[in-house]
Structure 1
Amino acid sequence: MSALLIKSFQAAAAVAAFRFVKFAAPAADRSVAQANAATSPLVGVSDSMGAPQGGLADVIQAGLAEVRLGGTVSAGDFLTADADGRGIKCVPAAGEVRVYGAVAQAPGVADDIIPVLVGIGVLTPA
C-alpha cells in the first residue's frame, strides 16, 4: 500500500490489524483505541501489526490502506466502524452524525481485507 501519512500513537487498549481506530480520550490525550461505532472520533486505520495495550499503534491517516470488513460493501462506499473496528458501509441516520474513515477501493464481504482510501469526514442527517 502507499500511505501518505502514518503516525504512531500510544494504544490505550489493544488494537487489531486493519481496523479503524479512534481517539480513546480526546479531551485528555492523544491515545487511541479500536473504534467501536459509526459515531467514533476516528483517527485512521491501524497497519498490519496492530498494537498491544500500552504499545505504539501505527495509524494510517491519509492515503491507501487496508481494512478488514464487518459486512458487505461495494467499491466506492464510504466506510465507518462496526463494534469491532471493522469496516462497514456508512449510512446516514436520522438525528445522528455518522463519521466515515475511508472509501472502499474494492467490493468485499465480512472478514475480507480490502484496499481503501483513508479520508475522514461526516455524514449529517437531512
Structure 2
Amino acid sequence: MGCFGNILWFICGGFVSGLGWCAAGCLWCITIVGIPVGLQCFKFASLSFWPFGKEVRYGGGAGSMLLNIIWLIVTGLPMAAGSALMGALLCVTIVGIPFGLQHFKIAKLALMPFGSEIF
C-alpha cells in the first residue's frame, strides 16, 4: 500500500506541494537568519513528496522549543490548520482515509518541526 499510496499522492498533488516547499526552502536559505526556517521547509518537502511509510520522531531541547514557539506563532498554526482541514475532508470517504491520515501527519509536523526527524 505504501508504494501505491506514494505514487498516487505524488500524481495528485504531492509533486506540486513538494516543489513549493523546496522553492520556499531555497528562498529562506538566501539569508543567514532564515537558514533554520529553510531547513524546516526542506523537511516538509521530503514529507510532501512521499509521505507514506515515513515516520516522524519528535525530540529536541530548550533551543528547539523556543524556535517551535516562534514558528508556531508565525507560520505553524495556519499551516497545521490547513493540513488538518484537508485531512478531515479526506477522511469523510473511506477511500480518502489513508490520505487524510498523511495530512494529519503533516499537520502535527507543522506544529513542532524543530527537533523532529523524518525516517
Q: TM-score of the superposition, structure 2-length normalised? A: 0.26
Structure showing greater Rg: 2
Between Structure 1 and Structure 2, the one with more strand by share is: 1
Between Structure 1 and Structure 2, the one with more helix by share is: 2
